[in-house]
Structure 1
Amino acid sequence: MKITASERLDWFEKLSVVLTGFSLSELLGTGLTKTYLDTIDQHLGEDLIDTLLDSFRKINIQNEEDLTAEESGNIQELVESKNNESITKLVILLWYTGQWYGDKSYIVSSQSYLEGLVWKAIGAHPMGGKQPGYGTWGFPPLTFSS
């Protein structure tokens, strides 16, 4: 797949929307898309992620934030394929925790810890950062409908 660096980042962002379940604006709001793609390249090499991005591109999704049943099935097949299963898990873990879990585990940056999607997913704030503010203990906790 010979595409520009900008197109490559764009496809990584679209894939990340599908893998995480968060909107593109939420992912871009973290400021970490390029950092995460660089981290993956550093540990796995560009060829491996480019193969995954090319396979994802071929699915031809119309709207990453509102998949059809057929698109969901194709994504599931892509994610569960023997060649892609481990890399898609690493991408998901990277977005949710801000930590690389490959050959050696480490938190990518202080920003990646603070912006981990896990905090939004559970309606909490990262310990030691992004405190909810004075007096917020007086309000009932957030609830999520099932």
Structure 2
Amino acid sequence: MDEDEARTIFAELSQALTGIAIGKLRPPNDPNGVFEGVYHTFARNAGPYAAGWILERFTTLKTQGLDDDRIASAILGDADNGPVAQSIIKLWLLGNWYTPGTSRNATVASSNVYIAGWVWKIMQAHPMGYSMQEYGYWAEPPPAPLAAYVPPPAPPPAKP
């Protein structure tokens, strides 16, 4: 697979793993290069074998017609891909790459990726030392409902 195809598959995989819409993860206008920063951090730190393996696994599951929830469950439950998938989720949420299978030795992707971490949007907060809101913003209700960032959880499937 070529680099452009890998980026597209990575964006689709990220949507499946995080539940965040692909248009928000990879917007058409990304002046701070957040998507590129996340993608390059993943590719560099996961390495060519692990990166290729998880992207191929995603493609196979997608081709089989599985939806995002089932794909995420299959990949996260896989001994080889699960730890890499967890690192991808942490990367999008926290702006840091954690060595797969650990919660230590984080590598900050970049200041832009850290500031744009989805944890801040979901918590409707800002990273330490950075805020685009004016002093006293915390006294007002959040500017957007949580559903603007992540969809509400789907109801559990009906039992037969």
TM-score between the two structures when normalised by the length of structure 1: 0.79
Query: Where do 1:45-64 residues align within 5 Å?
Result: 45-60=47-62
Task: Report the AA paired with residue 84 of structure 2.
Answer: I
User: Equivalent of 1:20, from 3, 13, 18?
Assistant: 18
CA-CA distance at 1:136 after TM superposition: 3.0
Tell me, which stretches of 5 or more residues in structure 1 are unaligned?
none
SS, match of residue 26 in structure 2: helix
Aligned counterparts of 1:101 and 1:78: Cα–Cα separation in 2: 17
CA offset digits 1:66-122 (Å, max 9, x no partner):
x84xx5234312221111111001100011000121184221211111100001111
Query: Where do 1:1-146 residues align within 5 Å?
Result: 3-29=1-27, 31-60=33-62, 68=67, 72-102=69-99, 104-134=105-135, 136-141=137-142
Tell me, which stretches of 5 or more residues in structure 2 are unaligned?
153-160
TM-score between the two structures when normalised by the length of structure 2: 0.73
Percent identity of the aligned residues? 28
Task: Report the AA paired with residue 117 of structure 2.
Answer: G
Tell me the number of residue pairs that the alignment of Structure 1 and Structure 2 aligns: 139
Q: RMSD over aligned Cα, in angstroms?
A: 2.7
CA offset digits 1:37-77 (Å, max 9, x no partner):
222222231121111111101122699xxx84xx5234312
Aligned counterparts of 1:104 and 1:135: Cα–Cα separation in 2: 34
CA-CA distance at 1:32 after TM superposition: 2.2
Aligned counterparts of 2:142 and 2:4: Cα–Cα separation in 1: 41
Aligned counterparts of 1:144 and 1:4: Cα–Cα separation in 2: 36
Query: CA distance change for structure 1 residues 24 and 74 in 2, over 3 Å: closer, same or farther?
Result: closer
